[in-house]
Amino acid sequence: MSDYMDKYGMYHDKPCVAGEPKSNNAWIYTAYAEKGKLPLDKDLIEVTFKKCIIPTTELTAGFYLIRTPYKSCPPISRDEILGMASLGFLKPEHLTGWSFSPYEVPKFNLIKTIKQLLELRGKHRNYFWQNNMDQIYRFAFSVPLQDRHFILQTWGKFNPFYWLVAKIDAMFEAKSGMDWLKYNKGLEVMKEEFPENHPLRSV
């Protein structure tokens, strides 16, 4: 097993300690690994995914998603959602109205939203959920349109508007792992983002 693979069969950007991850973005790195044809135990990863679906009566969907089994913070992020979808586990049904918020999203309140946005200026990216800034949830946990196309595409579904937005998004000269994952662009970022002994440097 690679030093960068945890006990759940997931890849990380930092070495694991006795199989325990030290970072929080295993799903996107594991998706990169699959795209780069690195060794994966998909059965083990499927078990891991099921452990990341947490039942709750507090949300309309009846569940929410977490990054790693038995670890609910920090909340799951956009890149982790993409990683789960790319690996073939996350379905559109796992999202509520294209939201992956682990918290109840309240009715929109313009004044409260403006106040919370002003308060967020200069703050750490985790500040909004650590301080229960509920109006921000609808933005921070919303799946972008181009990502919605990618998720639908993994399940053989199609929405022409999402497809158009994805086409426009792909036209920009971005160079990131997510661009490589979604649009086959930006592979060189792997050589820059990961240390020399990281398996993703070889994809």
Q: What is the DSSP code string of 131-162?
A: TT-GGGHHHHTBPPHHHHHHHHHHTT---HHH
pLDDT value for 182: 92
Higher pLDDT, 203 or 78: 78
Peptide bond into 75 cis (omega under 30): no
Query: What are 194's two structure tokens?
Result: 């990961």
pLDDT above 60 (res 1): no
Q: For residue 197, name the pLDDT band (cuts at 50, 70, 90).
A: confident
Burial class (CB in 10 A: 0-12, 13-18, 19+), 132: exposed
Model-level pTM?
Answer: 0.91
The answer to whether 199 touches 33, Cβ cutoff 8 Å, is: yes
SS3 1: coil
pLDDT value for 12: 92
Q: How many helices (H) and strands (E) in the chain?
A: 10, 2
pLDDT in tens, 59-116: 888 899 999 998 888 999 999 999 999 999 999 999 989 999 999 999 999 999 999 9
Angle formed by the axes of helices 26-35 and 78-86, nearest 10°: 40
pLDDT value for 186: 79
